[in-house]
């Protein structure tokens, strides 16, 4: 008998990931060895009649283990989700992807700042601020408030997947892979 829960879990995960947006992506590879930091601004919108918009500045720290053991074979996500079901869903889906094996991802976010602007206005202001500062390493993410963890996870996962080819090439150059 085939577990239909897997289809439902994948559908829920895909819907959550599609509902969030990376409004300002960054374009650099993560470190092959050691830790990488992914700073971001998260712009959250309210639901229904609540039009409140909030901004949070945060950072995802990605740690790659130096020695791979059975204890660190699955990805670990810290401070991404308030709901255990969302955490379990993300871990289940991403543990099936080689790019995430053995990674520890820790989210650290600052306090929320409530603003009266729309999401589009906030994103435009942040883009101008980052352009003025010539900052190319900070992303801007947007999401409905209940999907905040998925927005941060999508950002981190896209950075990890885009970095995988460069990381594999570096491993080859260092003689770790044929």
Q: What is the pLDDT of residue 26?
A: 93
Residue 157 inside a domain? The answer is yes
Q: What is the pLDDT of residue 117?
A: 81
Q: Is the pLDDT of residue 1 over 50?
A: no
pLDDT of residue 17: 83
Cβ-count burial 106-142 (b if 16+ within 10 Å, e if not):
ebebeeeeeeeeebeebbeebeeebeeeeeeebbbbb
Render pLDDT for 137-153 as a digit per residue (tens, 0 to 9).
Answer: 999 999 998 889 889 98
Query: How far apart are alpha carbons 177 and 165 in whole angstroms?
Result: 13
Residue 40 included in any domain: yes
**Contact (CB, 8 A) for 54 and 44:** yes
Q: How many structural domains does the chain have?
A: 1
User: What range does the domain containing 36 cover?
Assistant: 4-164
Lowest average pLDDT, out of 29-38, 39-48, 97-106, goes to 97-106
pLDDT digits (tens, 9 = 90+) for 55-112: 999 999 988 655 455 554 555 666 776 776 766 666 665 555 545 556 778 899 999 8
Confidence of residue 160 (pLDDT cuts 50, 70, 90): confident
Q: For residue 139, is it within any domain? A: yes
Q: How many CA atoms lie within 13 A of 144 on its CB side?
A: 11
For residue 32, being part of any structural domain is answered with: yes
Domain annotation covers residue 178: no
């Amino acid at each position: 008998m085939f577990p239909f829960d897997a289809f439902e879990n994948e559908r829920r995960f895909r819907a959550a990931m599609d509902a969030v947006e990376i409004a300002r992506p960054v374009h650099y590879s993560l470190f092959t060895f050691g830790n990488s930091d992914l700073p971001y601004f998260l712009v959250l919108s309210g639901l229904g009649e609540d039009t409140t918009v909030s901004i949070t500045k945060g950072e995802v720290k990605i740690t790659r283990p130096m020695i791979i053991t059975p204890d660190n074979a699955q990805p670990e996500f810290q401070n991404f989700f308030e709901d255990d079901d969302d955490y379990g869903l993300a871990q289940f889906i991403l543990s099936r992807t080689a790019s995430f094996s053995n990674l520890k991802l820790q989210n650290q976010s600052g306090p929320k700042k409530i603003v009266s602007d729309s999401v589009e206005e906030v994103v435009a202001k942040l883009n101008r601020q980052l352009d003025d500062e010539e900052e190319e390493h900070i992303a801007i993410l947007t999401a409905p408030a209940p999907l905040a963890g998925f927005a941060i996870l999508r950002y981190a996962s896209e950075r990890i997947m885009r970095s995988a080819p460069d990381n594999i090439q570096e491993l080859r150059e260092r003689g770790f892979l044929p």
